[in-house]
Chains A and B, each alone.
Chain A
C-alpha cells in the first residue's frame, strides 16, 4: 500500500502536478454574492488550477480565510492573474474584519 502511494506521488510529480496545494496571495475581498457569502480575490499564475476558499475561523470580530490551489508544475512565467473564490459564512459578514492565514488584514475591494 505504501509502495503504491509512493508510486502515485512519483507519477503525479513526474507529470508536473503538485500533490500539495499552494496558498494564494490575497488581493482583497467583498461581501456576497449571497447574504452569507464572501468573495475573495486572489492572484495566481494563468496555468494554475482554480483555487478554493477555506474559512479557517470566524467569530464576532474576525473572519480568517485562505485560498488554496494546485500550482502548475515545471518552470512558470511569473505573470499574475486575479481570480475569485466564494465561500459561505455562518452569518453575514457585517462589520467583521477579514484576515489571511498569517493574520494580515485583507482589504475590501469595491
Chain B
C-alpha cells in the first residue's frame, strides 16, 4: 500500500472549496457522433451539465467545485458525488456499451479500492449530505484508481441504457466508495469545472440504430441452436417467431427464410407491419416440411423500408410421432358451474388414492377415473347422494372423504361418468416423482430446462413442460417413460427471485449459502450470518473472516454478486489467525463484513438446507454469551442445528493451523454436528414468537467423527464469534426487522 501525504488532502480540498467562490462557466464538450470501427455502430461522447459533492458536516453541497469526491479521507470527512449528464444524444438509440471516464488527480491510496456508480434522483439546490438524491440502482463497481492524475473508468452501460429506456435526457449519476469506513478508498475526480477540458468527465457510448431482432424461436419456445440439441417440433406447420425492435420508429415487420439443411430454399415470407418491440410470427404453410426432416430458418427485421441483418441460422427437426402440446391444452379451464362438483369428486379420490385416478371434466360431465369396483360404487353413491362413511371409516382419520360426504350437494344434478383406468392416483404421483428425479439428474433434460410437471387429468399421464423440446430430451423421456408423459413446449417465465437458503436473492438474508471469490481466484463455500447496517444508506452482510482471509467478492450460490469484503479493514484474519482490526486493541474472533451491493433484510433462513422459510431478526442478545447459554447454528450446508450450550467464552482455539482468538466454544454434544460450509452462518436463539435473537457468527467444529454425528465416544463441539464483537469491531449495527 502506498499512501499519499495527508497534506495533499487538504490542498485538494482547499482548491475545491475556493472554486466554489470563484466559479467559472462550465466547459461542456458537445456530443458528437462519429462512425465506429464496427459496422452498424457509432460512438458518442456524453458530458456533464451539473455536479455536486455531498460531504459530512457541510450543510450544503459543493455544486461549483472543480472536483467531485467520494469516500472517507479521515474520520468526520466522507463524501459522495452526483453528476448530471446530457443524454439527449442517445435518445432513440440502442446502447451497445458505455464507459465513464474520470481523471483522478488524488487518492489516499494507490490500491484498487472499489467505488460505485449508481442511478440516483436529480440534484437539487438542497442537495447535501443530509439531503441526498435517492440512490436508486447500483449500476457498476470499479476498482480503477489513479495516483498520477490519469483517467479511471467504469462500465456504465446499464446506467445509459436505463436513461435511454426511460427517455431521461438528463440522468443523474451517484458516485460513492464501496467502503466508506476505509480511509484508503477516498478519491478525487476532476469535474466539468476543471480548467483543462481534456480532463473533465465523459461517457463514451457505443450505440446502434435501425432495426434489430432478438429471441428467434419456433412454436411456443425453443432456442436458436444448431446441431444435436436443435429443437424438435411435432408438426409440419410450425410458427417461426422473432421479436423486432427499432427505438426510432413505431412500426416494424420481419422477413423469414426457410431452407433444407443443404441450403435449398423451401419458403420465404414477409410479415405484416406491427408495433415495434413486439413478437412477429410466420406460420410455415403445409407442404413445405416432411416428418423426420431437419431444416433451418433465419429472419431479419425491417423498419422504414430498411432491412436489418439476417440472424444466424436456427435448426429444427420435425417428429410427428411426438406429442407436444400447448400449455393451454392440458387441464383446460373448468366451467364455473362444474368446479364445486369436480372439487367434491376430487376429495373422494384424494381420500382413496389407491382406488381412484384424477377426476376431470369432459363437456358438461365430470369423468371419474377409477381402478377398482369399490371406487366406482363410491363415485356412484356420491352422485346419488347416498355416500356415507363406512362403519370402519373414522372420519377424523380421513378428512378428505368426510369433506366429500359433506359436499354431496355439490354434485347433485351434475352428470357423472365413470372411466376405468389402470393407473391409480398413487401410481400417477409416484410416476411424477420419477419424472422429477430424472429431470434433475439427466443432462439432456437439464439442458432442455424442464421447469414444470403436472398431472394431465384427461390422459392420466404426466405433462412435462420445458423451454426447449430437443431431440435428446424427447428421447430421454420416451426411453424412460414411454407414453406416460406428454411434452409441453413453453418458455420458462418463472421469476428467479424465489429465495431459499441455497439460492438467496436481494434483499439478502443471513443463513444463506454463499461463495467468496478470493483475489487469487479460489472460491470458498460458506454461509452468510446476519444483515448489517453499516450506515443508514450502506447495507452490509456478516460472515466469517477465514472465508475471506484476504478479502474478496461475496457471491450468492447462483453467483449473483452480493458485495465485496475489503481486505484488512473488514476482516480480521492474519497469517497466524485472528489479528486486530485497524486501530483496535481487542481480538474479535473470526468475522468479516461485506459491503452489500444491493439491499438487505433483517431476516435469516431457518430449517434444513433446502429451506425457504425465514425468521425475523429481532435484536442482538442483550449481553455477550455466557457459559450455560443455549443456541442454534444456521449453517447452509448442514442446516439448522439447535441444542448447543455455551461451554466457554473468551477462549483461543487453535483451528486449521491458526489461532482463533477470543471466541465462544460450546460444550461437547451428541447428535448432528456442524460441518464444512457452515462457516459464517448465524448463531442465534429462537424466541417464542418465532423471531431470532442474534448471538454470533459461526466459525468451526471439533470432533464428531467421520459421520459428522456426535456419538458417546466422539461428541462434537463448535465455536463462534460473539455478535458483540461485530458490534464493537465494525461500523454500524445489526439489521433487524
Chain A residues in the interface with B (C-beta under 8 A): 18, 20-23, 25, 29-31, 43-48, 71-72, 74-82, 95-99, 105-108, 110
Q: Could you list 18 examples of A-B contacts with CB < 8 Å?
A: A22-B708, A25-B637, A25-B677, A43-B677, A48-B676, A75-B653, A75-B719, A76-B676, A76-B702, A78-B678, A79-B547, A81-B525, A95-B444, A95-B479, A95-B480, A107-B440, A108-B442, A108-B446
Q: Mask for B643-666, Cβ within 8 A of A = 1, else 0? A: 000000000011111001000000
How far apart sit A95 and B440, CA to CA, in the bound complex (Å)? 11
How far apart sit A105 and B678, CA to CA, in the bound complex (Å)? 22
Given known contacts A47-B656, A80-B679, what 15 new A-B pairs fall within 8 Å (CB)? A23-B707, A25-B675, A25-B677, A30-B443, A75-B700, A75-B719, A76-B702, A77-B656, A78-B635, A78-B678, A79-B547, A80-B524, A81-B524, A95-B476, A110-B446
Which residue among B637, B675, B718 has the maximum number of chain A CB atoms within 10 Å of its CB?
A: B675
Give 7 closest A-B pairs by Cβ, nearest first.
A80-B677, A80-B525, A20-B706, A75-B655, A75-B702, A78-B679, A80-B676
Interface size class of B (residues with CB under 8 A): 35 or more
* Smallest beta-carbon distance A23→chain B, Å: 7
Q: Cβ of A81: which chain B residues have Cβ within 8 Å of it?
A: 522-525, 676
* Smallest beta-carbon distance A105→chain B, Å: 5
CB interface residues, B 673-702, toward A, < 8 Å: 674-679, 698-702
B706 and A74 contacting across the interface, CB-CB below 8 Å: no
* Cβ of B438 under 8 Å from chain A: yes
A105 and B444 contacting across the interface, CB-CB below 8 Å: no
B438 and A97 contacting across the interface, CB-CB below 8 Å: yes
B655 and A76 contacting across the interface, CB-CB below 8 Å: yes
Which residue among A74, A79, A99 has the maximum number of chain B CB atoms within 10 Å of its CB?
A: A79
* Smallest beta-carbon distance A106→chain B, Å: 7
Residue of A nearest to B444 (CB): A95
A75 and B706 contacting across the interface, CB-CB below 8 Å: no
* Cβ of B705 under 8 Å from chain A: yes
* Smallest beta-carbon distance B658→chain A, Å: 8
* Smallest beta-carbon distance B630→chain A, Å: 20
Q: A75-B655, A77-B655, A78-B635 are in contact. Are A44 and B676 (CB under 8 A)?
A: yes
* Smallest beta-carbon distance B660→chain A, Å: 8
B708 and A98 contacting across the interface, CB-CB below 8 Å: no
Q: Cβ of A71: which chain B residues have Cβ within 8 Å of it?
A: 706
A77 and B706 contacting across the interface, CB-CB below 8 Å: no
How far apart sit A47 and B656, CA to CA, in the bound complex (Å)? 7
* Cβ of B437 under 8 Å from chain A: yes
How far apart sit A43 and B609, CA to CA, in the bound complex (Å)? 14
* Cβ of B441 under 8 Å from chain A: yes
A21 and B706 contacting across the interface, CB-CB below 8 Å: yes
How far apart sit A22 and B701, CA to CA, in the bound complex (Å)? 14
Residue of A nearest to B475 (CB): A95
How far apart sit A110 and B445, CA to CA, in the bound complex (Å)? 12
Residue of A nearest to B653 (CB): A75
A79 and B444 contacting across the interface, CB-CB below 8 Å: no
Residue of B nearest to A25 (CB): B637
* Cβ of B192 under 8 Å from chain A: no
B524 and A95 contacting across the interface, CB-CB below 8 Å: no
Q: Cβ of B698: which chain A residues have Cβ within 8 Å of it?
A: 78
* Cβ of B383 under 8 Å from chain A: no
* Smallest beta-carbon distance A42→chain B, Å: 10
Q: Cβ of A31: which chain B residues have Cβ within 8 Å of it?
A: 443
Q: Mask for B621-643, Cβ within 8 A of A = 1, else 0? A: 00000000000000101000000
Q: Cβ of B181: which chain A residues have Cβ within 8 Å of it?
A: none
Which residue among A78, A79, A95 has the maximum number of chain B CB atoms within 10 Å of its CB?
A: A78
* Smallest beta-carbon distance B560→chain A, Å: 17
For B637, give its contact among A20, A43, A47 (CB under 8 Å). Answer: A43
How far apart sit A25 and B676, CA to CA, in the bound complex (Å)? 9
* Cβ of B526 under 8 Å from chain A: yes
Q: Mask for B444-463, Cβ within 8 A of A = 1, else 0? A: 10100000000000000000
Q: Cβ of A48: which chain B residues have Cβ within 8 Å of it?
A: 676
How far apart sit A105 and B702, CA to CA, in the bound complex (Å)? 29
Residue of A nearest to B477 (CB): A95
For B441, give its contact among A43, A44, A98 (CB under 8 Å). Answer: A98
How far apart sit A72 and B706, CA to CA, in the bound complex (Å)? 10
Residue of B nearest to A70 (CB): B706
A47 and B676 contacting across the interface, CB-CB below 8 Å: no
A45 and B676 contacting across the interface, CB-CB below 8 Å: yes
* Smallest beta-carbon distance B565→chain A, Å: 14
Q: Cβ of B700: which chain A residues have Cβ within 8 Å of it?
A: 75-78
* Cβ of B254 under 8 Å from chain A: no
How far apart sit A4 and B580, CA to CA, in the bound complex (Å)? 47
Q: Cβ of B604: which chain A residues have Cβ within 8 Å of it?
A: none
A105 and B637 contacting across the interface, CB-CB below 8 Å: no
* Cβ of B187 under 8 Å from chain A: no
Residue of A nearest to B657 (CB): A47
Q: Cβ of B675: which chain A residues have Cβ within 8 Å of it?
A: 25, 78
A106 and B441 contacting across the interface, CB-CB below 8 Å: yes
B653 and A79 contacting across the interface, CB-CB below 8 Å: no
For A95, give its contact among B438, B522, B654, B660 (CB under 8 Å). Answer: B438
Q: A25-B676, A75-B719 are in contact. Are A45 and B706 (CB under 8 A)?
A: no
A78 and B444 contacting across the interface, CB-CB below 8 Å: no
Residue of B nearest to A71 (CB): B706
Q: Cβ of A43: which chain B residues have Cβ within 8 Å of it?
A: 525, 637, 676-677
Q: Cβ of B718: which chain A residues have Cβ within 8 Å of it?
A: 78
Q: Mask for B462-504, Cβ within 8 A of A = 1, else 0? A: 0000000000000010011000000000000000000000000
A74 and B702 contacting across the interface, CB-CB below 8 Å: yes
Q: Cβ of B699: which chain A residues have Cβ within 8 Å of it?
A: 77-78
Residue of A nearest to B442 (CB): A95
Q: Mask for B24-56, Cβ within 8 A of A = 1, else 0? A: 000000000000000000000000000000000
How far apart sit A96 and B443, CA to CA, in the bound complex (Å)? 10
Which residue among A76, A80, A99, A105 has the maximum number of chain B CB atoms within 10 Å of its CB?
A: A80
A107 and B441 contacting across the interface, CB-CB below 8 Å: yes
How far apart sit A32 and B28, CA to CA, in the bound complex (Å)? 60
* Cβ of B546 under 8 Å from chain A: yes
* Smallest beta-carbon distance A20→chain B, Å: 4
* Cβ of B544 under 8 Å from chain A: yes
B525 and A82 contacting across the interface, CB-CB below 8 Å: yes
B526 and A80 contacting across the interface, CB-CB below 8 Å: yes
Q: Cβ of A110: which chain B residues have Cβ within 8 Å of it?
A: 446
Residue of A nearest to B654 (CB): A75
* Smallest beta-carbon distance B591→chain A, Å: 13
* Smallest beta-carbon distance B66→chain A, Å: 47
Q: Cβ of B438: which chain A residues have Cβ within 8 Å of it?
A: 95, 97
Which residue among A22, A23, A71, A77 has the maximum number of chain B CB atoms within 10 Å of its CB?
A: A77
Q: Cβ of B443: which chain A residues have Cβ within 8 Å of it?
A: 30-31, 108
How far apart sit A47 and B443, CA to CA, in the bound complex (Å)? 32
Q: A25-B676, A107-B440, A108-B441 are in contact. Are A79 and B524 (CB under 8 A)?
A: yes
* Smallest beta-carbon distance B440→chain A, Å: 5
How far apart sit A29 and B446, CA to CA, in the bound complex (Å)? 12
B441 and A105 contacting across the interface, CB-CB below 8 Å: yes
Residue of B nearest to A42 (CB): B676
B706 and A18 contacting across the interface, CB-CB below 8 Å: yes
* Smallest beta-carbon distance A62→chain B, Å: 9
Q: A43-B676, A78-B679 are in contact. Are A97 and B441 (CB under 8 A)?
A: yes
Q: Cβ of A21: which chain B residues have Cβ within 8 Å of it?
A: 706
